[in-house]
Amino acid sequence: MNETGYDFTIENLGERTIPSPVVVNYYTPDDRRILFNIDPVHFADRKAPDGSPLSVEVAGPREKIFFDPSKTKAAIVTCGGLCPGINDVIRAIVMELYHRYGVRNIQGIRYGFQGLVPKYGHALMELTPDTVKDIHGLGGSCLSSSRGRQEIGEMVDALRRMNVDIFFCIGGDGTMRATENITREIMRRNLSIGVIGIPKTIDNDLNLIQKTFGYDTAISEAVRVIQCAHVEAKGAPHGIGLVKLMGRLSGHIAVGAALAQSETNFVLIPEVPFDLDGEKGFLKALEQRLRERQHCVILVAEGAGQDLMPHNGKEHETDASGNIRLLDIGLFLKDRIERHFQTVGLEINLKYIDPSYTLRSVPASASDSIYCSALGQYAVHAGMAGKTGMLVGLMKDEHVHLPLKAVTSGKQVDPMGNLWMRVLESTGQPPSMKN
């Protein structure tokens, strides 16, 4: 973002001179754009660098392309944590390249960015329609993945040695930052390698992106878990079903699951601070709920309540991707709930469920699979047209091109917004659990 607003300019490798082999009723011109400033209250001051209304380039096949399909070599990499739909994106990219554009040389980079670094010794995987035809029915990534930073120069050296023309990167916020740095190094060296990102985060917390793939599947799987927690809670006197869901910095999965399954009674997310003790605290509200209704279901996002736990000097520890290591709010909350009810002399039956890895490892749901196919196809159209340093995503119900630098994590649930209001209405929990 510059001083006057976002810069949504998309870089191109050069002039497009080759007629596209893709036959469609309508080619998408570069000047087809959608307005960004649909909310005059919040975005009226945001302009393009030239002072014009801020707009975003729409995705789709171009009439002329940059790369000659018969001579094009593409590579695909998946990085970071697993997420439903990765295989669907890989399959869509391969099928689009092979059948629509006639690209025959497609390589899979194994184990994330490690696969580009010689010291790891990871072999490449040749990707063809035969090798990917059934992978959409499987969870995870057929290319596997890894976390951690790799040296940018080494990775660009590998792409150059391999004669890669288009590099497709599937990953989250950290992967997109690394992809942007790879793009910069490629441009510094004046290489004709296009770099296209496909954003992946199950938490659905990327700014500007309407929805990230895997989120719908996570909600569907979380609903199954909530149903089980509700059965367990109702199956015993003063039963409590406590479910911990993914959501490091945002509670989108917990919020979506609660709205999809109205048997939830409390939703605890990072965006809404709460106290445990005191007359207005969570434990008192929970006690009142149990005395009145005899059972309760609680959803807690993994990043919620981090300020309530003793860190013992570990608050600055990070994982391989540079993320702050979170303390386990689920186990902490379980212990505090049990101790509270021992103190007040009320016997409870608490069942704690942590389905995190189940949610991210399953195959994509039908809606996610449709979305992933579109992302893969639009990524190929952009790559063959010679676009670079960009990603494809959904914005205002349109698939668009966005510069890598414009998209970062940080989209949160607004505690004063309509979405959180609907959660409060659905659960019946107090609007505030702060003393």
- Give the model confidence (pLDDT) of 352-394 as tens digits: 999 988 889 999 999 999 999 999 999 999 999 999 999 999 9
Number of domains making up the chain: 2
Residue 144, domain CATH: 3.40.50.450
Same domain? 75 vs 90: yes
Asked whether residue 189 is domain-assigned, the answer is yes
Please give the Cα distance from 364 to 361 (Å, whole number): 9
Residue 328, domain CATH: 3.40.50.460
Same domain? 181 vs 313: no
Among 88, 165, 173, 203, the one annotated catalytic: 203
Same domain? 279 vs 159: no
Same domain? 99 vs 181: yes
**∠ CA 410-84-369 to the nearest 5 degrees?**
105
Q: How confident is the model at residue 1 (pLDDT cuts 50, 70, 90)?
A: very low
Same domain? 208 vs 219: no
Same domain? 17 vs 128: yes
Using the 8-state DSSP alphabet, how is residue 91 labeled? H
* Known active-site residue 203: yes
Is the entire prediction scored with pTM above 0.75? yes
Same domain? 103 vs 32: yes
Tell me the pLDDT tens digit for each residue of 157-184: 999 999 999 999 999 888 999 999 999 9
Same domain? 244 vs 267: yes
Same domain? 271 vs 207: no
DSSP 336-357: HHHHHHHHHT---EEEEE--HH
Asked whether residue 409 is domain-assigned, the answer is no
Same domain? 120 vs 225: no
Range of 348's domain?
215-360+415-427
Q: How far is CA 168 from CA 24, 53, 78, 210, 400, in A?
A: 23, 30, 9, 21, 16
Q: How far apart are the first and last CA of the chain?
A: 39
Same domain? 198 vs 227: no
Tell me the pLDDT tens digit for each residue of 34-82: 888 655 555 555 666 666 778 999 999 999 999 999 999 999 999 998 9
Asked whether residue 310 is domain-assigned, the answer is yes
